[in-house]
Structure 1
Amino acid sequence: MMMRWMLFIAAIALSSCSKVPERNFEFNYKVSLQANSGKNMKVWLPVPQSNEVQTISELSIDTDIPYEIKTEEQHGNTYFYANLKEGLTQTADINIHFNVKRKQRANAKFKDTDPNLYLKANRLVPIGERFDSIAKANRFSPENMKPVYDFVLSEMYYGKPKAQNPSDQYYASLPTSIKKGITKDSVVSLYLNTTKIAGEFTFGNGNSNYACDISVGNCTDFHSYFMSLARSLNVPARFHIGFSIPDGQEGKIGGYHCWADYHQNNEWHPVDISEADKAPEKAEFYFGKLDANRVEMTQGRDLILEGYSKGPVNFFVYPIVESDGQAGAYTKSFSYKEI
């Protein structure tokens, strides 16, 4: 009887030690719109959904303006859409509140997802040509995506330097010479010149060609590069975007975070290469696993949103606001609280 009891206790202890880490938290996505009386205002905001790796509950939208919830057809994302034909006579707030349950995840099956949709190129995620050449030169194989992950991790530096000044943390953290012909000063110069013309050949746009040429960027650039290589190997790869949730009971969230997954053996395998770059000791973990410290808002690239006249949306996590067809003024804030 004693032996049986000891085995029972050991089984409980083993089960407790192997429990998958999870987070349960409230999330607030708040937008304040500025008045624009007499001008047509349109507003688009992402609305998260439950899926195989996260549960969204208690979702509410608090606002005085009329709106509809729409579904983006290609990827199934849902979003808030307001079309205020007479504009706003005074400022208006929109507060999207929801609870999130998220577990640490490894590979998973996703229902109603066609992998073939994630084989074709996107506007800033091309396939073939130079990416075929990189795959051939490095002898990449579609059966083993770890060398592709390792290659992007070794080629890229995480950084968003906006000034040639040591007080810019990203500028200070980069090596003086990134690679042949590219210095951290030239990365800043490219950023300043590109933003003057509202261009996309700089960090933060998820531009695979930029990532390949310059090797400095944020999570969008790391994962676009990976997706171009994966799809060029005929391996479906998807883009996911949302927010990282800091440690602690509550607080503000500064900006978005994105990651990717690829399809192999009838399952989707996650990667977070930019986090691996920032935390090299977790590089092995982030190939095939994601921590629970995140929430996904949308997935996919080149989204078609109702009423938006400027073509496909590159990726969708921040508000999109238009006033008579031009960019509209707003402020945004994001916060979380553990529950």
Structure 2
Amino acid sequence: MNQFNLQIGSNHTHALFAIPQSDQYQTISQIVINPKVKIIRDKIWDNTILLTNTKIGLTFHQQPKIIKQTINPTLTIQDYAPRLIKEHSYLLESNRFINGQDSRIKKIMDDLKIAPIKDTSLLMMIKSLYIYTLDNLIYGKPIDNLYSYDQALTEKITDCGGFSTLLLSLLQSVNIPARLVVGFLIKEENTFQKVFRTFNFALLTFNFLSMHVWVEVLLPDSTWFPLDPAVEWRRNRGLTKRQGGFGIIPADRLVVSHGQDFIIPHSNNIYKVDLLQNPLIV
């Protein structure tokens, strides 16, 4: 069990931060916001967002979960129910960061000979696009914001954001719904944390977190299948010992939001936000 104490905002400035929610990666409990602030919900991605114009403390408990999933090899693109696709149609819309309609993306799909044909295995399609991403990008130049698929395609050297937006664009091009998972890697324990572990909790702040994003695919049975190409790329080259990859996410993450390229209206203001990750001054 992790206990977080996150300090957000400052006096006389407006700050946004997505409040972590329970999902397949974690159970969140005992959320306390002090002092109380305005809470808004983005209607598309269903993120819960706090808006503050003063310094606040956000505390909560988190129980991370280990994810190990597989995809039924008999599933095909035709197994998506029209209702499911309609409910998640926003995942198939292009934006500044993801674009499955780009001619360069289409050419990649043609070269790979991947198309949403009736009997094509969904597992084969997703695996092929995942491997393409691993084979054609280089991890580097990490930033605090989100790299677009265009940056990844053009420069090849990119961070976890570029790995994810390129893979999302490839998936979108064949009408496979998928989304960006936004959060943090929890840094490896130091001696201080290990002492507190003996009492079954750890006090964690932003200093113990490292920004990270990955992908999850919506399967025809409405479950989410995770893909973490950036961590696998780095592990394959001996740059990290962290686990994570095709269907595997270890219990070392804090998830705070989903999606990208937000328009968040509040009172008389409209906030245009690339990513809900670190506290954002607006």
Report the TM-score when normalising by structure 1: 0.64
Identify the residue that residue 58 of structure 2 maps to in structure 1: 96
Change (3 A) 1:134 1:102: same
Q: Indicate yes or no: 2:22 matched with 1:45.
A: no
Which residue of 2 is the match for residue 186 of structure 1? none
Deviates more, 1:302-311 or 1:290-299: 302-311
Q: Which residue of 2 aligns with 1:132?
A: 106
Contact in 2 for aligned 1:106/1:269 (Cα 8 Å)? no
Secondary structure of residue in 2 paired with 1:279: helix
> Which residue, out of 209, 212, 217, partners 2:150?
209
* Residue 229 (structure 1) aligns with: 170
Equivalence for 1:120: 93
Range with greater deviation from structure 2 (137-146 or 116-125): 137-146
TM-fit CA distance, 1:265: 3.2
Q: Separation in 1 of the partners of 2:110 and 2:214? A: 25
Which residues of 2 match residues 1-339 of structure 1 at below 5 A? Answer: 24-33=1-10, 35-36=11-12, 41-63=13-35, 67-82=37-52, 84=53, 92-107=54-69, 114-128=87-101, 129-141=103-115, 143=122, 144=124, 145-160=126-141, 204-248=145-189, 249=193, 250=202, 252-266=207-221, 267-280=223-236, 286-307=245-266, 309=269, 312-322=272-282
Gaps of 5+ in 2: 71-83, 117-121, 194-201
Secondary structure (helix, strand or coil) at the match of 1:205 reads coil
Tell me how far 1:93 sits from its aligned partner: 2.8
Cα deviations across residues 245-274 of structure 1 (Å, max 9, x unaligned)? Answer: 123235632531111111233232100111
| Counterpart amino acid of residue 213 in structure 2 | C
- Paired residue type of 2:26: Q
SS in 2 for 1:131: helix
SS in 1 for 2:251: coil
Q: Who wins on radius of gyration, i.e. which is larger?
A: 1
The residue type equivalent to 2:160 in the other structure is C
Residue pair 1:204, 1:217 contacting (<8 A) in 2 also: no
Residues 154 and 146 (structure 1 numbering): CA distance in 2 closer, same or farther, change over 3 Å? same
One-letter amino acid of the counterpart of residue 23, structure 2: N
Secondary structure of the residue aligned to 2:233 is helix
> 1:204 touches 1:218 (CA, 8 Å); kept in 2?
no
Closer, same or farther: CA 315–299 of 1 in aligned 2, 3 Å: same
1:123 shift after superposition: 1.9
Deviation at 1:62, TM superposition (A): 2.1
Query: Which stretch of structure 1 is more off in the superposition, 123-132 or 305-314?
Result: 305-314
Q: In the TM superposition, what is the alpha-carbon distance from 1:211 to its structure 2 partner?
A: 0.3
Q: Work out whether residues 204 and 219 of structure 1, in 8 Å CA contact, stay in contact via their aligned partners in 2.
A: no
Residues 222 and 273, structure 1, Cα contact 8 Å, conserved in 2: yes
**Aligned Cα root-mean-square deviation (Å):** 2.8
Unaligned runs of 5+ in 1: 1-23, 85-91, 162-201, 323-339
**Is the 1:125–1:227 Cα contact (8 Å) retained in structure 2?**
yes
Post-superposition offset of 1:301: 1.5
Question: What is the CA–CA distance in structure 2 between the aligned matches of 1:117 and 1:286, rounded to whole Å?
Answer: 25
C-alpha contact (below 8 Å) 1:277/1:283 kept by paired residues: no
Q: Distance in 1 between the 2:147 and 2:60 partners? A: 28
The sequence identity of aligned pairs, in percent, is 24
How far did residue 94 of structure 1 move?
Answer: 1.6
Q: TM-score if structure 2 supplies the norm length? A: 0.76
Aligned pairs, number: 242
